[in-house]
């Protein structure tokens, strides 16, 4: 917030537009923010497109790549556990062009069912959408292995990394994907900005789906020349202030240390899971007993109480949880649920915070215990 305030107060001018000092400084600051993001995710220069959020990033893939490469009869593979933002852009695309959507189920642990995934790849999909960390189970998927298998089947791979960005960081070189989508607001940054990282091969197969100032180096009545790589996909005035705020949030994460953040989140996640499992009538979604993939959130249900009941009861005790379908209704439907409640863990969360949440859940369970 301070970084954005300072920018808005002292440097606020349109970028790439003016030769005067304020505009030049604003352009430098904006480019530096992009560089900061690319350094954090292990990306090369100008391979990330700033978007409104991760949802917009995945819609960009559906529009700029999908409309050029997906045709009637083609197959797109997603997971039943994916966030709606990772499935709906491609469901809409499939409906428009007559392609098929295949939803891979999850196994008892909450991880992608590998046998069903292998069967889906037998259909030779054009695109496979993977989620690095789901926003319901909160369990990390073996994305690199899955992406390699998808590539062997001839597919391009999109990874939704919105949930994993803040929990130990993301290195695009280690994911093996063609696109990776992020949101700033899930990583202590401002709302209203996200990003899409694009591999060189994927860039070559995309067409811009929006034009305007900033995307071209020359325009005449006969022709136009697009700017290189990411800049082709950022028409108009970009979200400069939000980019500056996001860069400051990345500095904050770097100062804490990716490995330290991961250890902190994993330890508190396990502590929360164990505590919830000790409360009679509380069911934790997903298998958190394995050593891998504890990434800062736990979803659960309370017998005899709806998710809204739980959230309202806990709110009255000063405990904030998310309730409902979490933009993952097919996942909940597969579990026979209308929704769940979710504890989210951040770098500022303490064991005392988890204890307070567990005590509140225990009181909620008692309050909604049926009369006997």
Residues noted as catalytic: 327
Q: Which residues pair with 301 in a beta bridge?
A: 283
Q: How far is CA 265 from CA 89, 167, 362, in A?
A: 31, 7, 22
Please name every residue paired with 343 in a beta bridge, in sequence order, or none if there are none: 298
N-term to C-term CA, the chain: 52
CA 316 remoteness from chain centre: 30
Are 241 and 7 within 8 A, CB to CB? yes
Helix (H) and strand (E) counts in the chain: 14, 13
Total residues belonging to the chain: 372
- φ/ψ of 322, rounded to 5, equals -90, 145
Q: Which residues of 164-179 are buried (b: 16+ CB within 10 A; e: fewer)?
A: bbbbbbbebeebbbbb
189 phi/psi in degrees, rounded to 5: -100, -175
* DSSP letter assigned to residue 282: E
- CA pair distance 123, 153, nearest whole angstrom: 9
Residues 6+ apart with CB under 8 A from 274: none
What string of DSSP letters covers 267-312?
HHHHHHHHHHHTSTTEEESS---SSS-B-SEEEEEETTB-HHHHHH
Residues 272-278: contacts with CB within 8 Å, 24+ apart?
272/298, 272/343, 272/345, 272/354, 272/357, 272/358, 273/298, 275/354, 275/355, 275/358, 276/300, 276/358, 276/361
Reading the block at residue 57, the tokens are: 């990033």
- Torsional sign, CA 296, 247, 17, 202: negative
Q: Is 101 helix (H, G, I), strand (E, B) or coil?
A: strand
């Amino acid at each position: 917030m301070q970084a954005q305030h300072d920018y808005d107060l002292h440097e606020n001018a349109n970028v790439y537009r003016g030769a005067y000092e304020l505009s030049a400084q604003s352009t430098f600051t904006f480019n530096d923010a992009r560089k900061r993001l690319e350094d954090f995710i292990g990306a090369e220069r100008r391979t990330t497109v700033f978007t409104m959020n991760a949802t917009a990033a995945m819609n960009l893939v559906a529009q700029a790549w999908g409309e050029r490469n997906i045709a009637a009869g083609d197959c797109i593979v997603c997971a039943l556990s994916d966030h709606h933002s990772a499935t709906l852009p491609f469901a809409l695309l499939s409906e428009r062009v007559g392609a098929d959507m295949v939803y891979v189920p999850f196994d008892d642990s909450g991880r992608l069912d590998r046998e069903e995934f292998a069967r889906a790849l037998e259909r030779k999909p054009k695109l496979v959408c993977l989620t690095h960390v789901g926003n319901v189970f909160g369990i990390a998927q073996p994305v690199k292995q899955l992406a390699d298998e998808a590539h062997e089947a001839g597919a391009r791979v999109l990874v939704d990394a919105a949930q994993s960005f803040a929990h130990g960081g993301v290195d695009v070189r280690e994911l093996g994907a063609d696109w990776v989508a992020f949101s700033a607001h899930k990583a202590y940054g401002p709302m209203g900005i996200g990003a899409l990282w694009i591999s060189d091969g994927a860039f070559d197969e995309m067409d811009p789906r929006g034009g305007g100032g900033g995307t071209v180096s020359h325009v005449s009545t006969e022709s136009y020349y697009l700017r290189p790589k990411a800049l082709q996909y950022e028409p108009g005035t970009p979200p400069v202030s939000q980019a500056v705020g996001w860069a400051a949030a990345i500095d904050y994460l770097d100062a804490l240390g990716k490995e330290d953040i991961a250890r902190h989140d994993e330890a508190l996640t396990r502590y929360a899971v164990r505590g919830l499992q000790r409360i009679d009538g509380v069911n934790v979604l997903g298998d958190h007993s394995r050593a891998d993939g504890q990434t800062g959130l736990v979803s659960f249900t309370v017998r005899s109480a709806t998710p809204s009941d739980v959230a309202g009861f806990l709110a009255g005790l000063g405990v904030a949880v998310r309730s409902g379908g979490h933009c993952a209704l097919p996942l909940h439907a597969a579990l026979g649920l209308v929704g769940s409640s979710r504890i989210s863990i951040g770098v500022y969360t303490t064991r005392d915070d988890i204890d307070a949440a567990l005590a509140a859940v225990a009181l909620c369970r008692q309050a909604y215990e049926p009369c006997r």
